[in-house]
Chain A
Amino acid sequence: AQKITQTQPGMFVQEKEAVTLDCTYDTSDPSYGLFWYKQPSSGEMIFLIYQGSYDQQNATEGRYSLNFQKARKSANLVISASQLGDSAMYFCAMREGRRSNFGNEKLTFGTGTRLTIIP
Chain B
Amino acid sequence: NAGVTQTPKFRILKIGQSMTLQCAQDMNHNYMYWYRQDPGMGLKLIYYSVGAGITDKGEVPNGYNVSRSTTEDFPLRLELAAPSQTSVYFCASSYRLAPQETQYFGPGTRLLVL
Determine whether the beta carbon of A91 is less than 8 Å from that of B42.
yes
- Please give the distance in Å from A90's CB to the nearest CB on chain B: 11
Known: A50-B102, A99-B99, A106-B48. A111 touches B59 (CB 8 A): no
Determine whether the beta carbon of B88 is less than 8 Å from that of A4.
no
Contact with B along A16-50 (1 / 0, CB 8 A): 00000000000000011101010000111111001
Determine whether the beta carbon of A109 is less than 8 Å from that of B44.
yes
A45 to B51, CA, bound (A): 23
Name the one of B43, B56, B106 contacting A91, with C-beta atoms under 8 angstroms. Answer: B43
Judge whether B107 is part of the interface by a CB distance below 8 angstroms. yes
- Please give the distance in Å from B7's CB to the nearest CB on chain A: 14
A102 to B55, CA, bound (A): 12
Q: Interface size class for chain A?
A: 20 to 34
- Tell me the count of chain B residues lying within 8 A, CB to CB, of chain A: 29
Determine whether the beta carbon of A105 is less than 8 Å from that of B99.
no
Nearest opposing residue in chain A for B109, CB measure = A43
Known: A50-B102, A52-B99, A106-B33. A43 touches B42 (CB 8 A): no
Determine whether the beta carbon of B100 is less than 8 Å from that of A50.
yes
- Please give the distance in Å from B32's CB to the nearest CB on chain A: 10
Determine whether the beta carbon of A105 is less than 8 Å from that of B50.
yes
Known: A45-B90, A45-B105. A106 touches B41 (CB 8 A): no
* Chain A positions near chain B (C-beta within 8 angstroms): 4, 31-33, 35, 37, 42-47, 50, 52-53, 91, 93, 95, 97, 99-100, 102-103, 105-107, 109-112
* Chain B positions near chain A (C-beta within 8 angstroms): 31, 33, 40-45, 48, 50, 56, 58-59, 88, 90, 92, 94, 97-100, 102-108, 110
